[in-house]
Amino acid sequence: MARRSTPPGQHRPVLLDEVLKILDPQPGQVVVDCTLGWGGHAAALLERVGPTGLLIGLDLDSSNLPRVKERLEAVGNAFRLHHANFAGLDGILGGAPGADMVVADLGMSSMQVDDPARGFSYARDGALDMRIDQTRGRSAAQVLATIPEEDLRQALLDLGDEPAAPRVARAILNAREETPIVRTAQLARIIQEAIGEPQWRLHPKPGTWKTHPAARTFQALRLLVNREMGNLGNLLRVLPWCLRGGGRAALISFHSGEDRLVKSAFRDGLRGGIYEVTSKDPIRPAFSERQANPRSRSAKLRWARLAAR
């Protein structure tokens, strides 16, 4: 069916079948998509809740909303879209009755990463911005201009798992004394020279070429600039108040630190009787999905079901 198709150049939403199986959307239910992106998960969920259901969708990047709106209008069922941070999901839902299900597919869409003007890509030169919400906050260039070396080193370790964090942090500080770091290619070069790995591929096959030496630093900076761990922590805190009794949440993370946060929030909620059941182990994309969409390789899906109120 044409309206279900994935937009040109885009992959099928990550772990779509698994998300639908876990959330099991039914006609008339209220579903929240915290991270609309291209609207792939949202469109599939909206179809299933039917004309009596409702989809509430959020994205921190307002430039996503017009395209998603068009895509969801083609489905034809009721939806509301918000340019908003999922950290404040409870406020967005306000006094509305809780949701039957909440999905969050964390991080960035490939469209955002591949757009050089957004400054996320070490492979395509652009201004070093990296803000998901371009209407506020400090760009990566502004953060790098003032961050103390120790804080940068720690962020590279904690958020990027960068084994050469001290060397990379020092190289960045040395470089910024010479000239401001304002372009992605400039930063990538500084890191590449500090690490000294000439061979890389955008999506390496296991055991072949390595990822770009700047990949870990770019990931750490993106998480830092957008306070992504803090946002996720807030979402996990308010999530139980956003769901009806028996409501389900499915969260897809792409970074070990994010997955640890989700895992421990669900585990604590289970122990505290807030959730009645949670996933034991993370669900990973099948081999075929990893082959078709290399960016899905690091995805981990965890879910939880709220106890009856």
Ligand X SMILES: C[S@@+](CC[C@H](N)C(=O)[O-])C[C@H]1O[C@@H](n2cnc3c(N)ncnc32)[C@H](O)[C@@H]1O
Return the number of the residue (31 or 181) whose C-beta is nearest ligand X.
31
Q: Are 210 and 186 in contact (CB under 8 A)?
A: no
Q: Are 11 and 295 in contact (CB under 8 A)?
A: yes
- Residue 47 sits in the site that holds ligand X (CB under 6 A): no
Q: Of the candidates 58, 155, 187, 239, which one interacts with ligand X according to CB under 6 A?
A: 58
Q: Are 209 and 200 in contact (CB under 8 A)?
A: yes
Q: Of the candidates 18, 30, 64, 255, which one interacts with ligand X according to CB under 6 A?
A: 64
Alpha-carbon span 277 to 222, nearest angstrom: 33
- Residue 305 sits in the site that holds ligand X (CB under 6 A): no
Return the number of the residue (59 or 213) whose C-beta is nearest ligand X.
59
Report H helices in 85-164.
Answer: 89-93, 110-114, 140-146, 149-160
Q: Of the candidates 31, 41, 100, 122, which one interacts with ligand X according to CB under 6 A?
A: 41
Q: Are 114 and 102 in contact (CB under 8 A)?
A: no
Find the binding residues for ligand X in span 1-30 (CB under 6 A): 13
Q: Of the candidates 18, 47, 61, 162, which one interacts with ligand X according to CB under 6 A?
A: 61
Q: Of the candidates 107, 160, 213, 240, which one interacts with ligand X according to CB under 6 A?
A: 107
Return the number of the residue (31 or 132) whose C-beta is nearest ligand X.
132
Helix (H) or strand (E) holding 31: strand 30-33
Return the number of the residue (62 or 142) whose C-beta is nearest ligand X.
62
Q: Of the candidates 32, 49, 54, 60, which one interacts with ligand X according to CB under 6 A?
A: 60
Q: How far is the CB of 108 from ligand X (least distance, A)?
A: 5
Alpha-carbon span 194 to 202, nearest angstrom: 19
Alpha-carbon span 75 to 95, nearest angstrom: 27
SS3 127: strand
- Computed on alpha carbons and rounded to an integer, the radius of gyration of the chain in Å comes to 20
Alpha-carbon span 262 to 260, nearest angstrom: 6
Alpha-carbon span 202 to 209, nearest angstrom: 9
Return the number of the residue (34 or 164) whose C-beta is nearest ligand X.
34
- Residue 85 sits in the site that holds ligand X (CB under 6 A): yes
In the chain, the N- to C-terminal Cα span, in Å, equals 39
Residues 6+ apart with CB under 8 A from 69: 81
Site string for ligand X, 87-106 (x = CB under 6 A): x-----------------x-
Return the number of the residue (120 or 275) whose C-beta is nearest ligand X.
120
Find the binding residues for ligand X in span 126-155 (CB under 6 A): 132
Region from 38-46, 137-145, 163-171, 282-290 binding ligand X, contact rule CB under 6 A: 38-46
Q: Of the candidates 30, 45, 72, 108, which one interacts with ligand X according to CB under 6 A?
A: 108
One-letter identity of residue 286: A
- Residue 35 sits in the site that holds ligand X (CB under 6 A): yes
Applying CB under 6 A, the residues found at the interface with ligand X are: 13, 34-35, 37-41, 58-61, 64, 85-87, 105, 107-109, 132, 231
